Structure 1
Amino acid sequence: MNETGRVLVVDDDVTVRDVVRRYLELAGHQVELAGDGEQALRRIAEQEPDLVVLDLMLPGVDGLEVCRRLRARSAVPVVMLTALGEEEDRIAGLRLGADDYVTKPFSPRELALRVTSVLRRSRVPAERTGAELVDGDLRVDVGARAVWLGGRELPLTAREFDLLVFFLSHRGKAFSRTELLSRVWGWEFGDQSTVTVHVRRLREKVEVDSARPVRIATVWGVGYRYDGGS
């Protein structure tokens, strides 16, 4: 499975763009650059990349707005660059559908590894390759990475898809946020709010009423458990 791809790097800092470009190219990726949100959106409209590295602090159209507009039309993976300590912006980006994040100052090598990881997971089914998972009117084609609810295809991001497949493959078992970070994200450490936000977004898409979920249950003091809607 090819783990490289076309990556659009969006950052207004020329030095950051150049360093990120060099490390991503060393990892085998094709890299395009954009210095602001408007330029990024034009590039994406002209030819959608395989992944976007997106700084949230951009002049004009900021990174959150870029992410919002992008998610309105595409599920292309997004890795955010956020300032250290800007937790509210990071959570806002995850709520808008970003797949991963790296905080500044960051290791370019770590960013390149995160990009490769997100690309790999966006192309390879999380588990049970070729399987079809069904829960009432919710159907998941794991091989095609496609999800339907009541016959309507759902626009899930790569992480949302992986999380749903993991839940469906382990029905009735409770998992902590730490376990989900490890099993779904592949992180041995990280911000547990990442899991919380992704579960919230997934509920909004697969539950009849996300405020009263019946598929993805909260297990107080533990984490989450998939009970199923049927």
Structure 2
Amino acid sequence: MSTPADELKTAVIIEDDPEIRHILAEVLESSGFSTVSVGNGIDGVRAVLTYKPLLTTIDVTMPGIDGIEAAKRIRAQSDTFIIMLTGLSDEADVIAGLGAGADDYLLKPFRPRELRARVEALLRRSRGVPATAAPPQASQGDVGPSFPAARAAAAAPLVPVVEGAAVSLAPEGQTGSEIAAFDGDADGGWLGHRDLRLHPENRVALIGDDELELTRTEFDLLATLLESKRRVRSKADLTLVLRGESYVTSYYVGDADKRAVEAHMTNLRRKLGESAANPRYIETVRGVGYRLTAESA
């Protein structure tokens, strides 16, 4: 059985080209990862479930199931960071990969330095609750937005509240019905808009009493918009936030990066149960970016 420390340093490479597999392994191992390499999507899904990696790279075009389907299956069962690899002319694959739950993408041919930069940007982002908030038996690698029960157990002071067949999360000593009354200033870190609540440190997002299952990228986008309230955040600005470079203005943000933010926002809106045409929580400012809707319709 692997230890939490091993999990935090493992990367799974899903790539059918042996030469590219070798390059990926060299770059990631030089960055401190132990690597597991496989040549097809089915074996890749199995490897992720077996080794519980911090990072997974997936080639889009592979024999058997392609990278898009592999990413969907992995995301349904794992909170590993996913970087999709695709050809320079296959922008549609980038959008499809992000829609399947990938956190970032890399165009082939790529430079090793670019891969390292993408990985470092992902690792700068929060993986879940801080280790100091978790009980001794819990590991940070076990906690992530895709696993509500594990996160609830580790993210004190939240406790699960059972009401009928539903399980919601509320601060210790409160019922699920009281959670809607939380105020970000009074409850120790909650952000809110209408009936939407989010706790950045505990990585919990709720609509009413219902918990949202968001990818890390979707969670980080939503947290940024909630913190910004009615201030408009541009697509370039959100790209830098996701890279962990929100205070740096010299980094290049291309059209593909902006379209990636659009794809993540489409997925986020779907999970929030709204559309761009009739937004309840997030509105598009045409030609600029995104912001929260007004408190009242």
Aligned partners of 2:274, 2:61: CA distance in 1, in Å?
Answer: 35
1:67: which partner in 2? 71
- 2:252 maps to 188
Which residue does 1:159 correspond to in 2? 217
The offset of 1:62, in angstroms, is 0.7
In the aligned structure 2, how far is the partner of 1:73 from the partner of 1:211?
A: 32
1:194 CA drift (Å): 0.7
The SS at the match of 2:57 is strand
> Looking at both structures, which has the greater relative contact order when contacts are Cα pairs under 8 Å and sequence separation is at least 6?
1
Letter in 2 for 1:168: L
Which is worse superposed, 165-174 or 204-213? 204-213
Task: Please tell me whether the aligned partners of residues 75 and 156 of structure 1 are also in contact (alpha carbons under 8 angstroms).
Answer: no
Percent of matched pairs sharing the same residue:
38
Which secondary structure state, in structure 2, belongs to the residue aligned with residue 79 of structure 1? strand
Q: Displacement of 1:221 after TM fit?
A: 2.1
CA distance in 1, matches of 2:236, 2:91: 18
Give deviations 1:44-68, integer Å, cap 9, x for gaps.
2223211211111111111011011
Root-mean-square deviation over aligned CA pairs:
2.1
Question: Do structure 1's residue 205 and structure 2's residue 271 form an aligned pair?
Answer: yes
Task: Give 2:293's match in structure 1, choosing from 219, 223, 227.
Answer: 227
Shift of residue 180, structure 1, vs aligned partner: 1.8
* 1:122-137 equivalence runs, <5 A: 122-123=126-127, 131-137=189-195
1:169 Cα deviation after fit: 0.4
Partner of residue 21 from structure 1, selected from 6, 12, 25: 25
CA contact (8 A) 1:10 1:37 kept: yes
1:44 equivalent to 2:48? Answer: yes
Which of structures 1 and 2 has the bigger CA Rg? 2
Q: Does the 8 Å contact 1:181/1:188 carry over to 2?
A: no
TM-score, length-scaled by structure 1: 0.89
Q: Which amino acid aligns with 1:179?
A: D
Using the TM superposition, give the Cα deviation of residue 141 of structure 1 relative to its aligned residue in structure 2, in angstroms: 1.6
Q: Which amino acid aligns with 1:103?
A: L
1:170 is matched with: 228
Letter paired with 1:161: F
Structure 1 stretches of 5 or more lacking a match? Answer: none
Aligned residues: 224
Q: Please state how far the C-alpha of 1:188 moved relative to its aligned partner.
A: 3.0
Which residue does the alignment assign to 1:117? 121
TM-score by structure 2 length? 0.70
1:228 shift after superposition? 5.7
- Residue number among 104, 107, 110 corresponding to 1:106 in the alignment: 110
Change (3 A) 1:36 1:229: farther
